[in-house]
Structure 1
Amino acid sequence: MGRAFIEKLPKVELHIHLEGTVQLELIQELAEKTQTPLPKPADELFSFTGLADFLDRLDWICSLVRNPEDVKRLAYDYARYAASQNIMYAEVITNPTHWKALSYQQLIPGILEGFDQAYEDGYTDCRLLVSLLRSQTKQESLALVRWMTAHRHPRLMGLSVDGNEAVSKQSNRVLCDAFLEAKHAGFAITVHAGESSPAEGVWEALDILGAMRIDHGVRSITDPVLLRRLADERIPLNITPTSNLMELYPSLEEHPLGKLYELGIPVTVSTDDPMLMSIDLCTELEKSANAFGWGASDLIRLQENAIRASFCDAETKQLLRDKLKIFCDCYHKA
């Protein structure tokens, strides 16, 4: 599939972490402002020896952000970058535990203010999902959910959880009260599962945490019963192919995304941590199309899946569908 088509295609991204979107120029600027030495030469900052090194670098980058104004700028910069990718709508995840210099009471309003300003200036419509860390306590998770409930904002959409399931095996049961309370308060629920956990993690995300969609979910491929459930119940999997190659698969051709798509599961494609992974959504879609033999209709279907899986209101979903339809009509006439 041609790159020009992918670049013009109106896109939706649902699995992206704000922590992984900080551009190199801003990192250097913040390091200079805070008098923090770079851990590596600038041209090597986005090279990693493994997952632990990657997470250490992520925390180091976030540690450079010391005030809400820097957060606002970072959020604004992401929305502007997303617009350059022709992403019309994005649901962006942030995990407050990464931002050591800021409380979530400072972090979340700063992000939302940046997204508001960017949208007013004509950039991508960005919404926020706040993520727990799997090692957090029941008390910590409930405190965050109750703060979110008391400080509602139109762009604050839902609750997430990320972190290594393999070393936090009881986390779903520890955090389930927070997710139940969030759902009762009207927040949407998405869960990272089926990457650092086997297929069992996806079952638990659905049955214990009440997940409405799954971030990753690729290891569902080993469980035929789960695959049938995902397809029958139309449970979306927000898949990030390049990110999964770091730990799970030796090549994109061996990634299960193509098979999951063929099974009728409503998959979407996202970038996870685009700056740290040196990937963008257009390239992610181009590589996936080449690996799995997808054409224009398949790439359009991925965007339709993403619109359906989004947590925005019905009016916004229809607006996104209308934008996609206008593009498709023009494409078919050309």
Structure 2
Amino acid sequence: MNHLELIRALPKAELHVHIEGTFEPELMFAIAQRNKVAIPYQSVEEVKQAYNFHNLQSFLDIYYAGANVLIDEQDFYDLAWAYFEKCAEDHVVHSEIFFDPQTHTDRGIAFATVINGLQKACEDAKTKLGITSHLIMCFLRHLSEEAAFETLEQALAYKDQIIAVGLDSSEIGHPPAKFERVFAKAREAGFLVVAHAGEEGPAEYVWEALDLLKVNRIDHGVRSEEDPELMQRLIAEKMPLTVCPLSNLKLCVVENMQQHNIRRLLQQGVHVTVNSDDPSYFGGYMNDNFIAITEALDLSQEELKQLAINSFEASFMSETEKTQWISKIHALA
């Protein structure tokens, strides 16, 4: 089995994907027409051109324009179902999916509309595709602590449908410390917790996520390498980093994929995983990310297997489920 065949054959868990970031141009345009929502694009081709953004702000502009067309439960279902079909193609057998309720509730969309549509797609993915999943509700860090508390209150009624809370959006100037009290309340309510840290922001933000938010996983975390003491801690605690290589390239965290540090992190014993982040915007889904780092960093087959194993170990699946999938990885020739 060559490297490409192995990538396709490996069962994988995806732990860092924003459902709003899986919005393909064709689906965005179709839902905009269905809902009679005006968008500043006359054709699918124009939407695709807009996806060729040049920096974080131009990405956010098209990202929020896309979110505006999502109005009904069916829209959220269709968005999630399209993502699950991509998972099936890439042998992603489990996904822990971020959603941003504030992106929608601030537009007047009910929290229930968002989560019910997503939840129904999760249920269908399990019965029709054999893909298990969890939902992770993220707070938008550029908004206030007060707004995050309000969103947490809304989420409590759906506690059995949301496994964890997270923290995403623009990192610079919005340190994890800003949300320390919100995360304490979320943990008290029984949620697991994760947070984006150390992508745009410095290694110090990773320390804050660990010490103040008391996270179960760090999302991104690639700048942790700048702090040797932090690296020692991540390795000792086996703290997962949900790394998104194509995203890092597209948002200029690295200048080219040959510069990416995921292999170095893996070789040093950091619990890194591979994920797609906002795949419709950043150039690819799970296997695209695996292929990109394999070609750029000359990953061995054992390293590819270890990355897949890490994804299950770092997941919020039951220990029994983790063991079953990891044994299947070990069984691959």
What TM-score do you get using the length of structure 1 for normalisation?
A: 0.92
Match of 2:267 among 262, 267, 273: 262
Whole-angstrom distance in 1 between the partners of 2:234 and 2:329 = 29
Match status 1:221 vs 2:225: yes
Q: Which moved more, 1:242-251 or 1:49-58?
A: 242-251
1:82 to partner: Cα distance: 0.9
For residues 13-33 of structure 1, give each alpha carbon's deviation from its aligned partner in whole angstroms, at most 9, with x where no partner exists. Answer: 101100111122211201222
1:123 deviates by 4.3
Deviation at 1:291, TM superposition (A): 2.3
User: Residues 26-175 of structure 1: matches in 2 within 5 Å?
Assistant: 26-33=27-34, 34-39=36-41, 41-99=46-104, 100-153=107-160, 155-169=161-175, 172-175=176-179
- Is 1:231 aligned to 2:232, yes or no? no
In percent, how many aligned pairs have the same letter?
A: 28
1:223–1:327 CA distance, 2 compared to 1 (3 A)? closer
Offset, 1:70: 1.1
Partner of 1:176: 180
Q: Is the 8 A contact 2:258 2:297 kept in 1?
A: yes
Q: 1:156 to 1:36 in 2, by over 3 A?
A: same
Residue 39 of structure 2 contacts residue 65 of structure 2 at CA under 8 Å; is this kept in 1? no
Listed one character per residue, the Cα deviations across residues 118-153 of structure 1 (whole Å, up to 9, x for unaligned) are 212224212110000112323322232233233222
The one-letter code sitting in structure 2 at the alignment partner of 1:323 is W
2:312 counterpart of 1:311:
no
Letter in 1 for 2:302: S
User: What runs of 5+ residues in structure 2 fail to find an aligned partner?
Assistant: none
Deviation per CA, 1:91-135: give whole Å up to 9, x if none: 010112223352323212221122112212224212110000112
In structure 1, the residue corresponding to 2:86 is in which secondary structure? helix
Query: How does 1:5-44 map onto structure 2 within 5 Å?
Result: 5-33=6-34, 34-39=36-41, 41-44=46-49
Shift of 1:277: 1.3
Instruction: Report 1:172-211 matches (<5 A).
Output: 172-211=176-215
State the Cα distance separating 1:156 from its structure 2 match.
1.6
Say which SS state the counterpart of residue 253 (structure 2) adopts. coil
Q: What is the aligned partner in structure 1 of residue 255 from structure 2? A: 250
Residues 264-288 of structure 1, C-alpha deviations (whole Å, 9 max, x = no match): 0000010101111121211211121
CA, structure 1 residues 197+42, in 2 after alignment: closer, same or farther (shift >3 Å)? closer
Q: Gaps spanning 5+ residues in structure 1: where?
A: none
Which region of structure 1 is more displaced relative to structure 2, 110-119 or 261-270?
Answer: 110-119
Structure 1 residue 249: Cα displacement: 1.2
Summarize the Cα distance change of 1:59–1:235 in structure 2 as closer, same or farther, 3 Å threshold. same
Maintained 8 Å contact 2:309/2:329 = no
Return the letter of the residue paired with 1:167.
G
Aligned counterparts of 1:156 and 1:16: Cα–Cα separation in 2: 15
Which AA in structure 2 matches 1:284? N
Could you tell me how far apart the structure 1 residues matched to 2:209 and 2:328 are?
36
User: For the residues of structure 2 that align with 1:307 and 1:251, how far apart are their CA atoms?
Assistant: 28
Q: Does 1:325 align with 2:327?
A: yes
State whether residues 145 and 182 of structure 1, in contact with CA within 8 Å, keep that contact through their aligned partners in structure 2.
yes
Partner of 1:283: 288
Question: C-alpha deviations, 1:44-66, integer Å up to 9, x for none?
Answer: 13211211000111101110111
Deviation at 1:67, TM superposition (A): 1.1
Shift of 1:38: 4.1
Contact 2:101 2:151 in 1 (8 A): no
Within 2, Cα distance between the matches of 1:47 and 1:75?
23
Q: 270, 273, 278: which is aligned to 2:278?
A: 273
SS in 1 for 2:13: strand
User: Which 4+ stretches in 1 moved above 6 angstroms?
Assistant: none
Q: How many angstroms apart in 2 are the aligned matches of 1:62 and 1:197?
A: 25
Q: Secondary structure at the match of 2:121?
A: helix
Secondary structure at the residue paired with 2:129? Answer: coil
Q: Is the 8 A contact 2:313 2:322 kept in 1?
A: no
Measured in 2, the distance between the counterparts of 1:42 and 1:132 equals 27
Counterpart-to-counterpart distance in 1, 2:309 and 2:3? 19
